[in-house]
Amino acid sequence: MVQYFIDGGTFMWPILGLLIFGLGFALERLYTLFRASVNTKKFLHKVRTALHEGGYKSAVEVCKKTRGPVAEIFHAGLSRMHRGISAVEKGIENAGSIEMAFLEKNMVWLSTVISVAPMLGFTGTVAGMIRAFDDIKAANDISPAVVAGGISVALLTTLFGLVVAIIVQMLQNFLISRVDKLIIDMEENSVLLIDELVELESKGKLEKDKK
């Protein structure tokens, strides 16, 4: 494999750089998304318990002690509970947009690697083919030995570029699935929180918290 890389010529190095670049961003996103993942059912139960036992201020404290996008949007909403349910909904909506942008951060760089790596590979192949034909012209011979060596080396950059794109594409697809799951969790749990607040308010259990 190392020999193939060396035989591929100078274009192999920028493609390798793209691989390292893509893996770096992918690992950063993996770390961030796994840290953002929490047991949402357990968290929602804690928030509900806090709402019933200590009011919305107690629920805000639970949110402060919990990491992740769901906790962030709950905190943004519950912090506005003194202004009413409509303010809570607006706070959750605004925080949700910010959290979605945070979750999708740097994904564009993975897409860039997926697009550029094969193009660099093809460029290296074209350059290699040009060199191969120059060799043919210099040797004044079109024997298989002269042609095959140059073409083989030229095709290595395309191969490496495609392999890099495939690796990063698989990582990106996995990351997108994680982001989608977190977004769905945010949306579902936001609805459940609003329903809970509406129910408590209808029973008059939030009156004292608004004063």
pLDDT tens string 79-111: 888 888 888 899 999 999 888 888 888 899 999
| Separation between Cα atoms, residue 19 and residue 12, nearest integer Å | 11
Q: Tokens representing 183?
A: 């977004």
Strand segments (E) across 49-105: none
| Separation between Cα atoms, residue 108 and residue 105, nearest integer Å | 8
110-140 pLDDT, tens digit per residue, is 999 999 999 999 988 888 888 777 777 776 6
* In the chain, domain spans: 2-210
Strand segments (E) across the chain: none
CB distance 40 to 32 below 8 Å: no
- What is the reported pTM? 0.80
Given pLDDT bands bounded at 50, 70 and 90, which one contains residue 208?
very low
Handedness of CA 158, 163, 169, 171 (dihedral sign): negative
CB distance 164 to 12 below 8 Å: no
Look at residue 211 in the predicted model and tell me its pLDDT: 40
| Separation between Cα atoms, residue 187 and residue 193, nearest integer Å | 10
| Separation between Cα atoms, residue 15 and residue 108, nearest integer Å | 18
Q: Tokens representing 83?
A: 């202004």
